[in-house]
Amino acid sequence: MTPAPASPARRAVVVDDEAPLARLVAGYLEREGFETWVEHDGAAAVRLLHEVDPDVVVLDLGLPGVGGVEVCRRLRTFSDCYVVMLTARTAETDAVVGLSVGADDYVTKPFRPRELVARVQAMLRRPRPHRVLAAPAVARPAPPIEIGPLRIDVDGREVSLGGTPVPLTRTEFDVLTALAAKPGTALSRRDLIEAVWGRDWYGDEHLVDVHVLHVRQKLGDTAAEQRFVRTVRGFGYRIGTGERRRDGAGGRPTTNAAP
């Protein structure tokens, strides 16, 4: 009996100007079966990413020269791979900037390499939101989800608003589709984490809020109108109807509420 061909190794690129740290992270990934590349310079990293076409990139935000944010911005013009940002800074704005240009997650230095690798593994195992939808025994294209002028092509992974394409990142699309898959149902941050990142993901659940904010901005939505993504105060979010809210409930969120 001919053995089944081995699955190709996952490809990971680690970009950090701290060479010992980069090599350490790469070593941990290699032990988990990843084929790895290491780069310490932003411009060189962009060239490498073109060549390697990785499954995941561990990217330092504070690179000299071409910084991590710009590397991620350029990466998103040709790749939809997963990106985990590393930052030594503690300001929330640094994480927001990284996520706004297409990073999927972030880890603050110092960190334990094993935890970083566990988060990468969880990210690569994460289910796609269209699996939330009931699937028939025989696979067939999922019908587009339409919410007023908003159209979500689940299988084609495309979103349009009034016929105009909306360029969402991979994670933004997944968050929006997870909500749209359950109309009328309020989903907590944890619900969305499990639908998008997977059950074994761990970290700051307010990561969801940042992605929701970006989705709203790209859809031309506001916290006051909440046409497409509505806040359920003190709990999470639910998909809207495409109409503006008339109850005035979309004002400034409380400290414990999602934005």
**By CB neighbour count within 10 A (0-12 exposed, 13-18 middle, 19+ buried), where does 78 fall?**
exposed
Token digits of residue 160: 């349009």
Q: What's the confidence (pLDDT) of residue 32?
A: 92
Q: What's the confidence (pLDDT) of residue 131?
A: 37
Phi, psi (deg, nearest 5) at residue 118 = -60, -40
Give the separation between CA 129 and CA 131, rounded to whole angstroms: 5
Q: What's the confidence (pLDDT) of residue 21?
A: 93
12 in Cβ contact with 116 (< 8 Å): no
The CA angle 244-178-248, to the nearest 5 degrees, is 20
104 in Cβ contact with 82 (< 8 Å): yes
Provide the CATH number for the domain formed by 135-239 in this structure: 1.10.10.10
**By CB neighbour count within 10 A (0-12 exposed, 13-18 middle, 19+ buried), where does 91 fall?**
exposed
Domain boundaries, the chain: 11-125, 135-239
Phi, psi (deg, nearest 5) at residue 105 = -155, 170
- What is the topology classification, in CATH, of domain 11-125? Rossmann fold (3.40.50)
Q: What's the confidence (pLDDT) of residue 4?
A: 43
57 in Cβ contact with 25 (< 8 Å): no
**pTM reported for the whole predicted model:** 0.63
Q: pLDDT tens string for the chain (259 positions)?
A: 444 444 568 899 999 999 999 999 999 999 999 999 999 999 999 999 999 999 999 999 888 889 999 999 899 888 888 899 998 766 556 667 777 788 888 888 888 888 899 888 887 876 444 433 333 344 466 788 999 999 999 888 899 999 999 988 888 899 999 999 998 899 999 999 888 877 767 667 778 888 898 899 999 998 788 899 999 998 999 999 888 765 544 444 333 445 5
Q: Which residues contact 136 (CB under 8 A, 6 or more apart)?
A: none
Give the separation between CA 1 and CA 116, rounded to whole angstroms: 39
59 in Cβ contact with 72 (< 8 Å): yes
Give the separation between CA 207 and CA 96, rounded to whole angstroms: 9
DSSP category for residue 62: T
Q: Give one DSSP letter per residue of 17-85, joined into a string.
A: S-HHHHHHHHHHHHHTT-EEEEE--HHHHHHHHHHH--SEEEEETT-SSS-HHHHHHHHTTT---EEEE
46 in Cβ contact with 77 (< 8 Å): no
